[in-house]
Structure 1
Amino acid sequence: MSTRPVPDPLLDSARGLWEQLAAVPVSFPSGEGVRVVTSPESRFCPAGWVGVVVLGGSALVTAPGRQAAAIVRDAFAELAATAVANAEAVREVLPVARVLGPAALAYVSAAGFRPVADSVRSAEQRPGDHAELRNLEKLAGREDTEEAGLDEITSPAFVVRADGQVVAAAGYRTWPRRTAHIGVLTAPAWRRRGLARVVGSAATAHALAAGLLPQWRARVPASRQVALALGFRELGTQLSIQLG
């Protein structure tokens, strides 16, 4: 006698988000399947690329055209669902010019959230377009700044100062399906001091209070550890592929 899967509202919400971002009518396959669809307008990845999202052990893949979709579908038939977001495994079966990621996708509910408490430093709320964020971005450098995306946040910014200067900040951009895509940035000289956890906690609390689903997308282990410390659950992985 088979048993039904235990409902997971957090996973269902995450899948609903990415199904909408696929920009065509589609759903994640059941079990551990891989579904490849043609979607030139997909928001999984840059225009013209192949986008891969694995959530809960099944994969949804968007391709920019029918020919690309056919190539990817045939190639991914050789891979397990969890492997299609593994850059090394993908390179074995596809002609790859560039990849972005993989990035872990993590989410948190109000019940699972573990806010920072009794911190020596507390986060200050500032407007999301405040000039001090641009100064922090200069300190952090282009790559980390683009990853954080603080120039695109629609929320207030939550910042920590040292000697009067903003050295860490977080905020979120509102995505479809009432999702809060969180970005965190810390000046290089102030990393590994718990500041990302402080500002990330403040941004997450603000999103939850607004009835939003916080999403934390991270490629580097340090950022993933911050999310896990705040109670986020890693539910899957995202990868973008430019075919060669």
Structure 2
Amino acid sequence: MTLEPGSADIIQLAWARRLGFDDGAFAGAAGTRLTRADEAARSLQFVRLFGSSALVGPQWALDAAAGYTDEELAQHVTLLTITRTHGGHGLGAAALFFADDLPLRQPSDELTVSQGNPEAMELEALCPPDDVNEVGLAGLEHRFTILHEEEGRRTPVACGAYTEWEGILAQLGVLVAPEWRRSGVGTLAASIAAHEALASGLTLQWRADVSNKGSLALARSLGFTAGGIQTSVLLG
């Protein structure tokens, strides 16, 4: 699906606030790179959205990045090179997807969905730590966990969740139990969370590590539109 006219401006507004810029910063800097020096920053962040870009970090990092193109800064290895002498490590590059509407997915059978925290925590215990850390259910306050009932016991199989960014974006995440992957239940969980967020008047955001083929494919299959990239390194 394509975004409605004006949605890109709304998304850039949310990111401008998130990164500490004035509300109209992206709109007033089309074709140029926004920079903001933050000497207390524990990370260096590069964000590219709908053709505009921004870089936030200590002044020494901004100075070191000045000679690089946006395409180069979008590469995690470039930020690691810039910050090597300051202990730069981790985080990586994430593709950013957005949607202001999505098709409604209807389950083939009746579902039990819990909004409780214990069920989401139980699901995390069933999943590999790397998956748990990438999705970060603990930081997504609105959770919708699909339960499978068998022999009188309900087991969590997938959770779609979101949290609000700047009262504008709904940052989505989906976690699926390993044995239930590729069954369609992850798509359904994502759809449930997405439509709850849309009903609250939020624009949807999906972040996926550029190497996570499953998450990238799920975003596209749900109907999200690619809008940019976020590349970050932690500073030692």
Shorter-chain-normalised TM-score: which range? 0.7 to 0.9
- Structure 1 residues 240 and 206: CA distance shift in structure 2, 3 A: same
Q: Using structure 1 for the length normalisation, give the TM-score.
A: 0.81
Q: Distance in 2 between matches of 1:126 and 1:140?
A: 18
- In the alignment, the residues of structure 1 paired with residue 156 and residue 6 of structure 2 have an alpha-carbon distance, to the nearest angstrom, of 37
Hey, what does 1:15 align to over in structure 2?
Answer: 12
- Aligned pair 1:54/2:72, yes or no? no
Counting aligned pairs with the same residue, the percent is 27
* Higher RCO, Cα 8 Å, sep 6+: 2
Asked whether the equivalents of residues 139 and 187 of structure 1 are also in contact (C-alpha less than 8 Å), the reply is yes
Report the count of equivalent residues: 223
Aligned to 2:30: 30
Would you say 1:195 and 2:185 are equivalent positions? yes
Q: Which amino acid aligns with 2:131?
A: D
Report the secondary structure of 1:177's partner residue: coil
C-alpha displacement of 1:25: 3.0
Match of residue 207, structure 2, among 217, 231, 234: 217
Report deviation, 1:39: 2.9
CA drift of 1:120 comes to 3.0
Partner residue of 1:114?
A: 103
> Shift of the alpha carbon at 1:128?
4.1
Distance 1:211 1:128, change over 3 A: farther
Superimposed CA distance per residue, residues 6-28 of structure 1 (whole angstroms, 9 cap, x where no aligned partner): x8422112111110011243723
What aligned pairs does 1:60-209 form with structure 2 within 5 A after superposition?
60-63=54-57, 65-72=58-65, 74=66, 77-79=67-69, 81-91=70-80, 95=84, 97-110=88-101, 113-117=102-106, 119-121=107-109, 123-129=111-117, 131-161=118-148, 163=150, 164-209=154-199
Q: TM-score, normalised by structure 2?
A: 0.84
Measure the CA separation in 1 of the matches of 2:39 and 2:144. Answer: 33
Partner Cα separation in structure 1 for residue 187 and residue 39 of structure 2: 37
User: Which consecutive unaligned segments of at least 5 residues does structure 2 have?
Assistant: none
* Distance in 2 between residues matched to 1:174 and 1:122, nearest whole Å: 29
Root-mean-square deviation over aligned CA pairs: 2.3
**Contact 1:56–1:235 (CA<8 Å) still a contact in 2?**
yes
Partner SS state of residue 22, structure 2: coil
Quickly say closer, same or farther: Cα 1:188–1:239, change in 2 above 3 A: same
